[in-house]
Amino acid sequence: MYPYKSYQFIFLFCTCLLAENYNISLWSIPVAHVELIADEGEIHFNTKSVGLINYVWPHKNSYSTLYDKENFGLRKYSKKIKQGDFTQELAWVYNVDDSALVHNDTKTSIIDSIQTIFTLLARASLDPKDYLDTKWFRIDHESCAYKGRFLWSDTVSINVSNKEILCDHYRLDLIKVDEDPCGIENSDYFMENIIDYNTVRQIWVEKNNNKRIIKASAEVYGFPLEAIIIDE
Instruction: Name the phi and psi angles at 7, rounded to 5.
Output: -60, -30
pLDDT at 222: 83
Q: Which domain holds residue 86?
A: 3-229
What total number of domains does the chain contain? Answer: 1
Question: Quick one: how many helices (H) and strands (E) in the chain?
Answer: 5, 14
In eight-state DSSP terms, residue 99 is T
Q: How many CA atoms lie within 13 A of 229 on its CB side?
A: 27
Task: Name the most confidently modeled range: 11-25, 50-64, 146-160, 188-202.
Answer: 146-160
Q: How many CA atoms lie within 13 A of 175 on its CB side?
A: 8
Report the CATH number that the domain containing residue 57 is assigned in CATH: 2.50.20
Q: How many CB atoms lie within 10 A of CB 65?
A: 25
Interval 36-73: pLDDT, tens: 887 889 988 899 999 988 998 899 999 999 999 999 99
CB distance 41 to 66 below 8 Å: yes
Interval 119-161: pLDDT, tens: 988 899 889 999 999 999 999 999 999 999 999 999 999 999 8
